[in-house]
Protein backbone atom coordinates (compact mmCIF):
# COMPACT_ATOMS: atom_id res chain seq x y z
CA UNK A 1 0.00 0.00 0.00
CA UNK A 2 1.07 3.61 -0.19
CA UNK A 3 3.24 5.69 2.12
CA UNK A 4 1.80 7.87 4.90
CA UNK A 5 0.19 11.08 3.65
CA UNK A 6 -2.62 12.19 5.89
CA UNK A 7 -1.80 10.72 9.29
CA UNK A 8 -1.32 14.09 10.98
CA UNK A 9 -4.83 15.13 9.97
CA UNK A 10 -6.75 12.03 11.01
CA UNK A 11 -7.36 13.12 14.60
CA UNK A 12 -8.44 16.55 13.43
CA UNK A 13 -10.69 14.94 10.83
CA UNK A 14 -12.49 12.92 13.49
CA UNK A 15 -13.08 16.10 15.49
CA UNK A 16 -14.39 17.96 12.44
CA UNK A 17 -16.82 15.16 11.58
CA UNK A 18 -18.03 14.97 15.18
CA UNK A 19 -18.63 18.74 15.26
CA UNK A 20 -20.52 18.67 11.96
CA UNK A 21 -22.72 15.81 13.17
CA UNK A 22 -23.54 17.65 16.41
CA UNK A 23 -24.27 20.94 14.65
CA UNK A 24 -26.43 19.24 12.00
CA UNK A 25 -28.39 17.44 14.71
CA UNK A 26 -28.96 20.61 16.68
CA UNK A 27 -30.13 22.45 13.59
CA UNK A 28 -32.33 19.57 12.47
CA UNK A 29 -30.45 19.36 9.18
CA UNK A 30 -28.67 16.56 7.29
CA UNK A 31 -26.94 18.60 4.62
CA UNK A 32 -23.22 19.00 4.07
CA UNK A 33 -20.93 17.21 1.70
CA UNK A 34 -23.03 14.73 -0.23
CA UNK A 35 -20.32 12.25 -1.13
CA UNK A 36 -19.94 11.02 -4.69
CA UNK A 37 -22.82 12.21 -6.88
CA UNK A 38 -25.32 9.77 -8.39
CA UNK A 39 -24.23 8.69 -11.85
CA UNK A 40 -20.54 8.82 -10.99
CA UNK A 41 -18.49 5.74 -10.17
CA UNK A 42 -17.26 5.02 -6.67
CA UNK A 43 -13.67 6.16 -6.40
CA UNK A 44 -11.31 3.14 -6.41
CA UNK A 45 -9.50 2.19 -3.25
CA UNK A 46 -7.93 -0.77 -1.50
CA UNK A 47 -7.37 -0.82 2.27
CA UNK A 48 -6.29 -3.45 4.82
CA UNK A 49 -9.03 -5.38 6.58
CA UNK A 50 -9.32 -4.51 10.25
CA UNK A 51 -9.15 -8.14 11.39
CA UNK A 52 -6.11 -8.95 9.26
CA UNK A 53 -2.41 -8.35 9.82
CA UNK A 54 -1.67 -6.44 6.61
CA UNK A 55 -0.16 -3.03 7.28
CA UNK A 56 -0.21 0.05 5.07
CA UNK A 57 -2.20 3.07 4.01
CA UNK A 58 -4.99 3.24 1.48
CA UNK A 59 -4.16 2.76 -2.18
CA UNK A 60 -6.27 5.22 -4.18
CA UNK A 61 -4.36 5.15 -7.47
CA UNK A 62 -6.27 4.97 -10.73
CA UNK A 63 -3.14 4.29 -12.79
CA UNK A 64 0.33 2.87 -12.19
CA UNK A 65 3.09 4.95 -10.63
CA UNK A 66 0.97 7.66 -9.01
CA UNK A 67 3.45 8.27 -6.23
CA UNK A 68 1.85 8.61 -2.80
CA UNK A 69 -1.54 7.47 -4.14
CA UNK A 70 -0.09 4.07 -5.05
CA UNK A 71 2.41 2.37 -7.33
CA UNK A 72 -0.23 0.14 -8.91
CA UNK A 73 -3.92 0.85 -9.63
CA UNK A 74 -6.05 0.32 -6.54
CA UNK A 75 -8.46 -1.95 -8.42
CA UNK A 76 -5.64 -4.45 -9.01
CA UNK A 77 -4.76 -4.79 -5.32
CA UNK A 78 -6.48 -8.00 -4.22
CA UNK A 79 -6.01 -10.49 -1.41
CA UNK A 80 -7.64 -12.16 1.55
CA UNK A 81 -6.62 -9.28 3.83
CA UNK A 82 -7.67 -6.48 1.49
CA UNK A 83 -10.96 -4.62 1.17
CA UNK A 84 -11.13 -3.50 -2.46
CA UNK A 85 -14.17 -1.50 -3.53
CA UNK A 86 -13.66 -2.48 -7.19
CA UNK A 87 -13.86 -6.15 -6.24
CA UNK A 88 -17.07 -5.45 -4.32
CA UNK A 89 -18.91 -3.73 -7.14
CA UNK A 90 -17.79 -6.37 -9.63
CA UNK A 91 -19.79 -8.86 -7.55
CA UNK A 92 -23.06 -6.98 -7.13
CA UNK A 93 -24.72 -3.84 -5.75
CA UNK A 94 -22.72 -2.16 -2.99
CA UNK A 95 -23.66 -0.52 0.30
CA UNK A 96 -20.53 1.14 1.66
CA UNK A 97 -20.31 2.96 4.99
CA UNK A 98 -17.45 5.31 5.83
CA UNK A 99 -17.19 6.17 9.51
CA UNK A 100 -15.02 7.21 12.43
CA UNK A 101 -15.01 5.36 15.73
CA UNK A 102 -16.28 8.28 17.80
CA UNK A 103 -19.76 8.57 19.25
CA UNK A 104 -22.63 6.63 17.75
CA UNK A 105 -21.23 6.56 14.21
CA UNK A 106 -20.35 2.83 14.29
CA UNK A 107 -23.96 1.94 15.19
CA UNK A 108 -24.75 1.84 11.47
CA UNK A 109 -22.61 -1.29 11.19
CA UNK A 110 -25.02 -3.29 13.32
CA UNK A 111 -27.94 -2.05 11.21
CA UNK A 112 -26.12 -3.07 8.03
CA UNK A 113 -25.31 -6.47 9.54
CA UNK A 114 -29.00 -7.18 10.14
CA UNK A 115 -29.62 -6.82 6.39
CA UNK A 116 -26.84 -9.10 5.16
CA UNK A 117 -28.92 -12.30 5.24
CA UNK A 118 -31.96 -10.62 3.65
CA UNK A 119 -29.98 -9.26 0.68
CA UNK A 120 -27.44 -11.95 -0.28
CA UNK A 121 -26.67 -10.31 -3.64
CA UNK A 122 -25.68 -7.00 -2.04
CA UNK A 123 -22.11 -6.40 -0.96
CA UNK A 124 -22.15 -4.63 2.41
CA UNK A 125 -18.84 -3.17 3.61
CA UNK A 126 -17.45 -0.43 5.81
CA UNK A 127 -14.21 1.50 6.23
CA UNK A 128 -13.04 3.25 9.39
CA UNK A 129 -11.26 6.52 8.70
CA UNK A 130 -8.34 6.67 11.08
CA UNK A 131 -8.56 5.35 14.60
CA UNK A 132 -6.73 2.57 16.41
CA UNK A 133 -6.73 -0.85 14.82
CA UNK A 134 -7.00 -2.61 18.18
CA UNK A 135 -10.15 -0.64 18.99
CA UNK A 136 -11.58 -1.29 15.55
CA UNK A 137 -11.03 -5.02 15.99
CA UNK A 138 -12.92 -4.92 19.28
CA UNK A 139 -15.69 -3.00 17.56
CA UNK A 140 -16.01 -5.58 14.78
CA UNK A 141 -16.11 -8.45 17.25
CA UNK A 142 -18.48 -6.78 19.70
CA UNK A 143 -20.94 -6.04 16.88
CA UNK A 144 -20.59 -9.63 15.59
CA UNK A 145 -19.94 -8.37 12.07
CA UNK A 146 -19.57 -10.68 9.10
CA UNK A 147 -19.46 -7.80 6.63
CA UNK A 148 -15.89 -6.74 5.78
CA UNK A 149 -14.51 -3.72 7.63
CA UNK A 150 -11.38 -1.99 6.41
CA UNK A 151 -9.17 0.63 7.98
CA UNK A 152 -8.03 3.79 6.23
CA UNK A 153 -5.16 4.63 8.53
CA UNK A 154 -4.06 7.82 6.80
CA UNK A 155 -7.52 9.26 6.10
CA UNK A 156 -7.23 9.33 2.31
CA UNK A 157 -10.87 8.38 1.76
CA UNK A 158 -12.16 11.38 3.69
CA UNK A 159 -11.17 13.69 0.88
CA UNK A 160 -11.76 11.19 -1.91
CA UNK A 161 -15.36 10.54 -0.84
CA UNK A 162 -16.06 14.05 0.53
CA UNK A 163 -16.80 12.74 4.02
CA UNK A 164 -18.04 15.42 6.41
CA UNK A 165 -20.87 13.53 8.08
CA UNK A 166 -20.60 10.39 10.14
CA UNK A 167 -21.38 7.85 8.95
CA UNK A 168 -21.63 8.33 5.20
CA UNK A 169 -23.50 5.42 3.60
CA UNK A 170 -23.11 5.02 -0.17
CA UNK A 171 -25.26 3.00 -2.57
CA UNK A 172 -23.93 1.81 -5.93
CA UNK A 173 -25.02 -0.43 -8.78
CA UNK A 174 -22.99 -3.41 -9.94
CA UNK A 175 -20.11 -1.81 -11.81
CA UNK A 176 -19.72 0.91 -9.18
CA UNK A 177 -21.95 3.70 -10.51
CA UNK A 178 -23.60 5.52 -7.61
CA UNK A 179 -27.35 4.87 -7.59
CA UNK A 180 -28.54 7.59 -5.20
CA UNK A 181 -27.36 10.20 -2.73
CA UNK A 182 -25.47 8.91 0.27
CA UNK A 183 -27.01 8.87 3.73
CA UNK A 184 -25.30 11.58 5.75
CA UNK A 185 -25.64 10.43 9.33
CA UNK A 186 -27.05 7.28 10.88
CA UNK A 187 -30.29 6.24 9.13
CA UNK A 188 -33.15 4.57 10.92
CA UNK A 189 -33.34 0.79 10.39
CA UNK A 190 -36.49 1.25 8.30
CA UNK A 191 -34.89 3.94 6.14
CA UNK A 192 -31.77 1.88 5.56
CA UNK A 193 -33.78 -1.21 4.61
CA UNK A 194 -35.91 0.86 2.24
CA UNK A 195 -32.86 2.29 0.50
CA UNK A 196 -31.26 -1.14 0.12
CA UNK A 197 -34.51 -2.50 -1.34
CA UNK A 198 -34.59 0.41 -3.79
CA UNK A 199 -30.98 -0.29 -4.78
CA UNK A 200 -31.74 -3.95 -5.45
CA UNK A 201 -34.85 -3.14 -7.49
CA UNK A 202 -33.09 -0.44 -9.49
CA UNK A 203 -30.14 -2.76 -10.13
CA UNK A 204 -32.47 -5.41 -11.55
CA UNK A 205 -34.11 -2.91 -13.87
CA UNK A 206 -30.73 -1.63 -14.94
CA UNK A 207 -29.46 -5.14 -15.57
CA UNK A 208 -32.55 -5.92 -17.63
CA UNK A 209 -31.77 -2.91 -19.80
CA UNK A 210 -28.22 -4.11 -20.39
CA UNK A 211 -26.69 -1.89 -17.70
CA UNK A 212 -24.58 1.21 -18.21
CA UNK A 213 -20.88 1.90 -17.91
* N- to C-terminal Cα separation, the chain: 28
Whole-structure pTM value: 0.84
Looking at residue 164, its pLDDT comes to 86
All structural domains of the chain with their residue ranges: 7-208
At 211 the pLDDT is 61
Chain segment 21-62, per-residue pLDDT in tens: 433 332 233 344 578 999 999 999 999 999 999 999 999 999
> Rounded to whole angstroms, how far apart are CA atoms 102 and 85?
24
Beta strands 82-84; 46-48: pairing state = antiparallel
Homologous superfamily of domain range 7-208: Glutaredoxin (3.40.30.10)
Give mean pLDDT in consecutive 10-residue pieces for the chain, a chain of 213 residues.
47 47 35 78 97 96 95 96 98 97 91 98 97 94 96 94 93 98 94 98 89 56
Amino acid sequence: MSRPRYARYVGFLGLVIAVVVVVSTLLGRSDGAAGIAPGQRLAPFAVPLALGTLQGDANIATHAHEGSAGNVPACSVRGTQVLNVCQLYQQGPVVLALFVEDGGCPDVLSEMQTLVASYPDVRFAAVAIGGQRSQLRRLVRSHHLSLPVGIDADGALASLYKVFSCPQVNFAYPGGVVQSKAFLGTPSPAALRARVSQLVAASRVRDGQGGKT
